[in-house]
């Protein structure tokens, strides 16, 4: 309240002094250089105080201006009196009052002087007491009024700086235009030029038209200097006031800029106060708007950096998990690669084994073919031997009973062979048939050899009657020996697949024991040479059995040969599939190497990402450190 009275008192004083001083100087100048007066300078100056109507008009002017100014500034004073200052409507009126004051002063002052001069001349019958024409007086009053009003406006603007700062004007609102401050320098120049021209012209008129014999000022140069000094001094004072106001506005703006550029915390919520709506005020307004924009950007940056920091932390955690996952994948890929390499080696080894088995089966198939041919040849020999035995069957009927026992022993051997065949079938399928057939061939060859020996012995006993039978017996023994050789060759090939026919070996051993019993019976028959007839009869039956066995063996051999062929084809398919599997395994190994390389690259990328995340975190912390300088 005290501050309000203080700036109102200063304004009232300025409204009083400025018009009075202007009046005194103007009236003194008018009478001093009045060509109608023939009086000394002192008398001329006393005429200034001899016009009570003029002073009355000035008093009225002062009262009118102070009333108008007080009325105009009423919203400003009311707003500043309020402790809360929350009335937006009153605040808008206060701002408007601060802007409209200069134009009110100029309009009231110039209009009052113009109207007052016209009224004064009208009351004096359009004549001045001193004889000065109305035109000159109007020129003086209008130019002096404009000059003094401009000076007074600048003085009052200077007085109102504190009040304007109290308004905290931070932005120029729509419709707020301070034409006076924007055109202040132009108004100053125009007022100065108008006053200078009018007064210098009046002085020139005085020295040109005056009567040299009359009293009054005689020094034209001094008169010109006096006019220039007064008007120039007034103009210089207005310039100083304007520049002081600009310095104040610039200082407020500079202070705000220094606050923002300080290394310590800067409050973005604060604003530079606007006291003038001229170019500097517009700059302050633009700066405040930029500060608002900067505040919004800082708020967005704070929000974004927080979100970015959270995202960066989540990304860091995810990248660490990814790093661990990639390491686990790399380890698993290494294990899988090792397993694939082992699989490649195992497939290669298996393929080689299968190829070797295939070669063994091929060799076995060839041996079976040869054996089948030998069995066919042996069958032919046995048939011939049976025919010879039949021719002497009458001579060997005595050994028939003993041959029955031999047949029973052979049956026991055949039973053992059947057991061996059953085992071979369960272990090696069709390959077991070949082993069984080989055993049968070996047994028959042995039996045939024994029978041939017995036949040769009996032929020797028979003498010349058994010579033909002896030849047949030799052929049969030769065939039996060849069959034995072929049986051994077949046995040699069967050893290559020994792992698959181990159980067949046991069955073959049992069959061998059965044939040993047969051999013992045959030995018994040999010791009973006197029972040759029975032996021959038994030999006849045995030869038939041998022939049947050879026929069965031939059939089995053909079957085994066919099955071996099918097995060869199957082995070839298996070999082809194994080769394809080996190629696939090698391809898998190559792909696993590629995967291992990719995993390494991914690991390097993850390491790079983690490094970037660390850099981003440091940058975010640095940005946060800079942003935290600003209070928003």
Per-residue confidence (pLDDT) for residue 489, from 0 to 100: 81
On whether residue 344 sits in a domain, the answer given is no
Number of domains in the chain: 2
Q: Please, which residues have CB within 8 angstroms of residue 65's CB and are 6 or more apart in sequence?
A: 15, 19, 105, 108, 109, 112
Domain boundary (267, 288, 305) is at 267
Instruction: Tell me the helices (H) and strands (E) count for the chain, helix number first.
Output: 15, 2
Per-residue confidence (pLDDT) for residue 195, from 0 to 100: 93
Per-residue confidence (pLDDT) for residue 166, from 0 to 100: 82
- Whether residues 368 and 233 share a domain: the answer is no
On whether residue 618 sits in a domain, the answer given is no
Per-residue confidence (pLDDT) for residue 579, from 0 to 100: 74
Are residues 11 and 141 in contact, defined by beta-carbon separation less than 8 angstroms? no
Tokens encoding 313:
């932390």
Q: Please, which residues have CB within 8 angstroms of residue 184's CB and are 6 or more apart in sequence?
A: 154, 242, 278
- Whether residues 553 and 410 share a domain: the answer is yes
On whether residue 627 sits in a domain, the answer given is no
Strand partners, 631: 267
Q: Distance between the two ends of the chain, CA-based, in angstroms? A: 33
Per-residue confidence (pLDDT) for residue 521, from 0 to 100: 65
- State which residues of the chain have pLDDT below 50: 1-2
Which residue range is the domain that position 89 belongs to? 2-267
On whether residue 503 sits in a domain, the answer given is yes
- Whether residues 141 and 263 share a domain: the answer is yes
Q: Please, which residues have CB within 8 angstroms of residue 571's CB and are 6 or more apart in sequence?
A: 354, 357, 358, 361
Per-residue confidence (pLDDT) for residue 148, from 0 to 100: 92
- Whether residues 372 and 261 share a domain: the answer is no
- Whether residues 366 and 259 share a domain: the answer is no
Strand partners, 266: 630
On whether residue 228 sits in a domain, the answer given is yes
């Amino acid at each position: 309240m005290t501050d309000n009275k203080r700036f109102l008192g200063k304004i009232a004083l300025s409204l009083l002094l400025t018009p009075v001083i202007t009046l005194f100087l103007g009236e003194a100048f008018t009478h001093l250089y009045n060509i109608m007066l023939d009086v000394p300078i002192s008398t001329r100056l006393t005429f200034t105080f001899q016009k009570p109507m003029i002073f009355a008009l000035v008093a009225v002017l002062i009262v009118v201006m102070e009333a108008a100014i007080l009325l105009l500034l009423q919203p400003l004073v009311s707003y500043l009196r309020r402790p809360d200052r929350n009335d937006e409507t009153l605040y808008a009126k206060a701002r408007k009052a601060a802007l409209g004051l200069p134009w009110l002063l100029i309009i009231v002052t110039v209009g009052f002087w113009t109207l007052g001069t016209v009224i004064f001349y009208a009351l004096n019958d359009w004549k001045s007491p001193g004889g000065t024409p109305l035109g000159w007086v109007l020129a003086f009053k209008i130019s002096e009024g404009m000059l003094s009003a401009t000076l007074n406006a600048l003085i009052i603007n200077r007085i109102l700086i504190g009040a304007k700062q109290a308004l905290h004007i931070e932005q120029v609102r729509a419709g707020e235009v301070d034409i006076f401050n924007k055109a202040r320098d132009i108004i100053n120049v125009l007022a100065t030029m108008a006053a200078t021209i009018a007064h210098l012209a009046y002085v020139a008129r005085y020295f040109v038209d005056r009567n040299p014999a009359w009293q009054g000022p005689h020094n034209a140069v001094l008169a010109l200097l006096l006019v220039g000094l007064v008007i120039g001094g007034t103009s210089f004072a207005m310039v100083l006031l304007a520049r002081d106001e600009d310095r104040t506005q610039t200082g407020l703006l500079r202070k705000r800029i220094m606050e923002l550029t300080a290394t310590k915390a800067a409050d973005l919520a604060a604003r530079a106060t606007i006291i003038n709506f001229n170019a500097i005020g517009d700059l302050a307004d633009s700066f405040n708007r930029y500060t608002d924009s900067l505040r919004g950007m800082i708020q967005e940056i704070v929000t974004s950096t927080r979100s970015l920091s959270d995202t960066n932390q989540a990304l860091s955690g995810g990248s660490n998990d990814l790093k661990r996952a990639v390491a686990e994948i790399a380890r698993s890929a290494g294990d899988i690669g090792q397993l694939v390499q082992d699989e490649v080696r195992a497939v290669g080894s298996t393929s080689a084994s299968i190829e070797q088995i295939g070669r063994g089966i091929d060799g076995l198939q060839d041996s079976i073919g040869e054996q089948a041919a030998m069995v066919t040849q042996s069958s032919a020999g046995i048939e011939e031997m049976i025919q010879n035995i039949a021719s002497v069957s009458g001579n060997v009927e005595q050994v028939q009973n003993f041959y029955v026992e031999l047949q029973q022993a052979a049956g026991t051997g055949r039973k053992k062979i059947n057991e061996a065949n059953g085992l071979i079938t369960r272990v090696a399928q069709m390959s077991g048939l070949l082993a069984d057939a080989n055993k049968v061939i070996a047994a028959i060859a042995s039996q045939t050899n024994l029978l041939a020996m017995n036949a040769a012995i009996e032929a020797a006993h028979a003498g010349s009657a058994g010579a033909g039978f002896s030849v047949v017996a030799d052929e049969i023994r030769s065939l039996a020996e060849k069959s034995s050789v072929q049986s051994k060759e077949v046995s040699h090939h069967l050893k290559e697949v020994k792992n698959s026919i181990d159980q067949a070996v046991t069955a073959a051993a049992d069959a061998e024991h059965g044939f040993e019993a047969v051999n013992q019976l045959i030995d018994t028959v040999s010791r009973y040479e006197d029972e040759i007839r029975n032996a021959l009869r038994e030999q006849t039956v045995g030869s038939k059995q041998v022939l049947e066995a050879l026929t069965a063996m031939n059939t089995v051999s053909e079957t085994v040969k066919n099955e071996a062929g099918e097995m060869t084809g199957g082995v070839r398919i298996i070999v082809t599939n194994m080769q394809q599997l080996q190629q696939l395994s090698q391809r898998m190994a190559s792909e696993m190497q590629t995967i291992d390389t990719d995993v390494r690259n991914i690991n390097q990328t993850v390491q790079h990402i983690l490094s970037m995340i660390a850099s981003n975190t440091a940058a975010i912390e640095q940005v946060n450190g800079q942003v935290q300088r600003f209070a928003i």
